[in-house]
Amino acid sequence: MNLDYGKEYEDFKKEVESFCREYSGVIITNKKGGALTALNAVGELDNADGQKLKRSEWQKILIQNGYFARSIPKEYGGFGGDIDIIKNRIIAAEFASAKLPPPMGGQGIDMLVPTLLELGTEEQKQKYIKSTLHGEMIWCQGYSEPNAGSDLASLQTKGELIDGNWVINGQKIWTSTAQYSQMMFCLVRTEPDASKHAGISYLLIPMDTPGIEIRPLVDMTLNAGFNEVFFTDVTIPEGNIVGKRGEGWTVANSTLGHERGSLTNPNATMSRLNLLIDRMKEETINGEKVIQNPAYRDKLIKLQGKVMAFQSNSLRVLSAKLNKGQDVKIAGMIQKLIGTELRHELEGFAIDVMGELGTLYENSPNIRDGGSWQFTYMYYLGLIIGGGTSQIQKNIISERGLGMPREPKTQQVV
Ligand SMILES: Cc1cc2nc3c(=O)[nH]c(=O)nc-3n(C[C@H](O)[C@H](O)[C@H](O)COP(=O)(O)OP(=O)(O)OC[C@H]3O[C@@H](n4cnc5c(N)ncnc54)[C@H](O)[C@@H]3O)c2cc1C
């Protein structure tokens, strides 16, 4: 079997390799409240010479070269190229093997931009996409409420149309990166008399609007990764709505589909696997390198098999979506379920590899790789919950994907 990409792709691969050589040594710093906490939305990069490169500068370099936002039109700040899965694959593989930092992600770039491309007005696309892609406008997601998580459609934050403005009152919770964000995409109940799913609208709220109060919540990584957000008579223009009034559930689901994809980037998982192998070549058990130890090698090979299967399944799903136009909603849920649990397992294995050093956290002088393994292990436990818990993914996959009976509804106790 000939597995060569062919001349066009071999030339492209050389171009990416040369870019990676030019920028080799650029790394992400793991600052508190920084890059990792905000899903790479904020923070700085350091290169090997200790020079600082802003996250948004790196982002622009990647877009200019077509290594990010490749198929997004130039007029919206993208590279303006064709959709080409093989080129995307080459970029990801070269970046992973050169251990270069991935592009910025976060809820604006990964979730809001594709939603606006799909369902936004031309004015909204012009206004928001470029600044978001270029890392200049950070967004947060206002979905969950104290009494609406897995059962999201129970949300009660109220939006009333008064004199051409939406007036919003209520509370959101677990709002990641709200404290760094300029904008929120938010679900509010605008039709209180309609059925639960039909009464919701999808609004775009500037976070500096009077009446918004943000209270950070410390999560198990010891960072304030998410927040409570309170709204008291928050007033925004009527036009800050995506889709029609009362039809926000459809828009919300488009965003959720993109969220599931973004939480489990298989190329990022592969990069971490490569770093794990490096770590195993450094650490020792009884004077022997961990990579030489049969028990650890066995576990590594099993993990590597899972990561490769995950990566190849992701390509299969991507190609079904982009080349064949198939509906991949359920496949996306499987990716979210498997991808978050696999990443958590991988990060946990690295902690085992480090032995007693794996128990250190944050500023210890002996900590390895800036503490990123311990941090990401905790962080991914959160992502198994965020974007819909594993239990909820399993319910939906079994009911809608496998056609199993719907779960019984519990009786409300009055
Ligand atoms: C790190 C992190 C970041 C987050 N960021 C955001 C954000 O930016 N914006 C936002 O809006 N939200 C965010 N969330 C909230 C997240 O979407 C919710 O936590 C999630 O949807 C679960 O809702 P809940 O916390 O209310 O738990 P609940 O819905 O109360 O669930 C509690 C437990 O019961 C289980 N359960 C519930 N219903 C069922 C069922 N029918 N069958 C089987 N088991 C069930 C769940 O799986 C879970 O284990 C974030 C959460 C985390 C952990």
Average pLDDT over residues 347-355: 97
Average pLDDT over residues 24-32: 58
Average pLDDT over residues 9-18: 95
- Looking at ligand 1, which atom is closest to the CA of residue 152? 21
Q: What is the pLDDT of residues 87-130, one digit of tens each?
A: 988 998 898 788 787 788 889 999 999 999 999 999 999 999 99
pLDDT at 63 over 90: yes
pLDDT of residue 38: 37
pLDDT of residue 23: 86
State the Cα–Cα distance between residues 337 and 340, nearest whole angstrom.
6
Average pLDDT over residues 176-194: 96
- Looking at ligand 1, which atom is closest to the CA of residue 176? 8
Helix axes 266-282, 294-322, angle to 10 degrees: 160
pLDDT of residue 93: 86
- Whole-model pTM? 0.90
pLDDT of residue 34: 39
Q: What does the mean pLDDT of the chain come to?
A: 89
147 close to ligand 1 (CB < 6 Angstrom): no
pLDDT of residue 411: 64
pLDDT of residue 61: 92
pLDDT of residue 394: 96
Number of H helices, E strands in the chain: 12, 13
What DSSP state is assigned to residue 145? B
Name which residue sits closest to atom 3 of ligand 1, judged by CA.
386
Q: What's the gap in Å between 174 CA and the centre of ligand 1?
A: 9
Distance of alpha carbon 350 from the chain centroid: 22
pLDDT of residue 234: 98
Q: Which long-range contacts (CB under 8 A, 24 or more apart) does 250-256 make?
A: 250/119, 251/115, 251/119, 251/202, 252/143, 252/152, 252/187, 252/200, 252/202, 254/114, 254/115, 254/118, 254/119, 255/111, 255/112, 255/115, 255/141, 255/185, 255/202, 256/387, 256/388
pLDDT of residue 412: 59
State the Cα–Cα distance between residues 403 and 272, nearest whole angstrom.
36
pLDDT of residue 3: 55
Half-sphere exposure of residue 39: CA atoms within 13 angstroms, side-chain side: 27
Half-sphere exposure of residue 255: CA atoms within 13 angstroms, side-chain side: 28
pLDDT of residue 210: 98
State the Cα–Cα distance between residues 168 and 350, nearest whole angstrom.
45
What DSSP state is assigned to residue 229? E
Please state, in angstroms and as integers, the Cα–Cα distance from residue 249 to each residue in 45, 197, 226, 384, 393, following that order: 37, 6, 23, 23, 18
pLDDT of residue 188: 98
Amino acid at 338: I
State the Cα–Cα distance between residues 253 and 243, nearest whole angstrom.
12
Contact 224, 348 (CB under 8 A): no
pLDDT at 1 over 70: no
Structural domains in the chain, CATH included, are 7-104 (1.10.540), 139-247 (2.40.110.10), 263-401 (1.20.140.10)
Contact 148, 93 (CB under 8 A): no
The percentage of the chain sitting over the pLDDT mark of 90, rounded to a whole number, equals 70
Both structure tokens of 369: 């790789």
Average pLDDT over residues 314-321: 88
Longest dimension (CA), the chain: 74
Question: Among candidates 350, 208, 197, which has minimal Cα distance to 269?
Answer: 350
3-state helix, strand, coil in the chain (%, to 5): 50, 15, 35
- In 3-state terms, what secondary structure has residue 371? helix
Q: What is the pLDDT of residues 235-248, one digit of tens each?
A: 999 999 999 999 99
Both structure tokens of 173: 């919770």
Radius of gyration of the chain (CA): 22
pLDDT of residue 130: 97
Name which residue sits closest to atom 13 of ligand 1, judged by CA.
174
Contact 106, 141 (CB under 8 A): no
Q: What's the gap in Å between 176 CA and the centre of ligand 1?
A: 13
- Mutational test site, ligand 1, from 144, 156, 203, 260, max ligand atoms within 8 Å of CB: 144
Name which residue sits closest to atom 52 of ligand 1, judged by CA.
386
Taking residue 142's Cβ as centre, other Cβ atoms within 10 Å add up to 29
Average pLDDT over residues 217-236: 94
Which of 169-183, 322-336, 387-401 has the lowest average pLDDT?
322-336
- Looking at ligand 1, which atom is closest to the CA of residue 148? 26
- In 3-state terms, what secondary structure has residue 202? strand
The percentage of the chain sitting over the pLDDT mark of 70, rounded to a whole number, equals 92
